[in-house]
Amino acid sequence: MRTGAVIVAAGSGDRLGAGVPKAFVRAAGLPLVTWSVRAFEDARDVTAIVIVCPPGQEREMSAAIGTHGMVHAIVPGGSSRQRSVAAGIAALPHDVGAILVHDAARPLITPGLVGRLVSRLRLHDAIIAAAPVADTLKRADAQGNVDATVDRAGLWGAQTPQVFRAHVIRSVFATADDAELDSATDCAGMAERRGIGVAMLDPGAPNMKVTTQADLRLVEVLLGSGRIA
């Protein structure tokens, strides 16, 4: 299925403290965002990529990623993640049958994972990468002490990519108001609220989000070890 990929890369990355937007930070020799561009270019189904970047940094983004024929557009992001996703979806070609949304902050994505997700759209309107929670979960009180232990049975951590039939995700965003675009933290949640079934696929391999310097060091090791060749 012809698939358009939106890479959201407009976050500031304040928690990383690198002094530049997170997508530009280099890991194993490449800007974080470029690892995702490469994975999509090598994925069987992806036909167009839109990169959503910090407003005013379109030129820097273009220079950072270099020449990639499949990059259809580089567009400025919004004040929230979901506003950035909306800008990316609006810039995709209209002929795609599937739309995939991915965080630039997850550079361990592989072409194989993209293919597995897209192929399952035959059975589902929406499917996301996600993994069962492995840690015991605690709810904290205002002092940061344990208030309660949360039963982790059935709890999964949502990741990206998140893939949708194109008409489904377009209609989700067409009916979203400002409050939802400001508060939602992923696309699947917006779909769920409209009664759309969302399937989950465990990548079975690390697919972590880079948030801190420690995360960055870890993905450098994994990327540098030739995990993605």
Q: How far is the CB of 83 from ligand C5P (least distance, A)?
A: 6
Nearer to ligand C5P, 4 or 11 (CB): 11
CA triple 206-199-204, angle to 5 deg: 20
Q: How far is the CB of 118 from ligand C5P (least distance, A)?
A: 20
Site for ligand C5P (CB under 6 A): how many residues? 17
Closest residue by beta carbon to ligand C5P: 11
For residue 196, the tally of other CB atoms under 10 A from its CB is 18
Q: Are 32 and 23 in contact (CB under 8 A)?
A: yes
Q: How far is the CB of 64 from ligand C5P (least distance, A)?
A: 13
**Going residue by residue from 189 to 218, which x/- string records binding to ligand C5P, judged by CB under 6 A?**
--------------------x---------
Nearer to ligand C5P, 23 or 200 (CB): 23
Q: How far is the CB of 149 from ligand C5P (least distance, A)?
A: 26
Q: Is 186 in the site for ligand C5P (CB under 6 A)?
A: no
Q: Is 10 in the site for ligand C5P (CB under 6 A)?
A: yes
Q: Which of 4, 31, 77, 107 binds ligand C5P (CB under 6 A)?
A: 77
Structure tokens given for 128 = 């996301």
Secondary structure (3-state) at 115: helix
Nearer to ligand C5P, 2 or 72 (CB): 72
Footprint on residues 48-67 left by ligand C5P (CB under 6 A) = 52
Question: To the nearest 10°, the Cα dihedral for 179, 181, 186, 188?
Answer: 90
State the amino acid at position 83 in one-letter form. Answer: R
Q: How many helices (H) and strands (E) would you count in the chain? A: 8, 11
Question: To the nearest 10°, the Cα dihedral for 19, 105, 58, 50?
Answer: 180
Could you give the residue ranges of the DSSP H alpha helices within the chain? 32-42, 58-65, 81-90, 111-119, 166-174, 178-183, 187-193, 213-224
Nearer to ligand C5P, 76 or 97 (CB): 76
Q: Which stretch binds ligand C5P (CB under 6 A): 64-72, 79-87, 137-145, 146-154?
A: 79-87
Secondary structure (3-state) at 27: strand
Which residues contribute to the site for ligand C5P (CB under 6 A)?
8-11, 22-23, 52, 77-81, 84, 103-105, 209
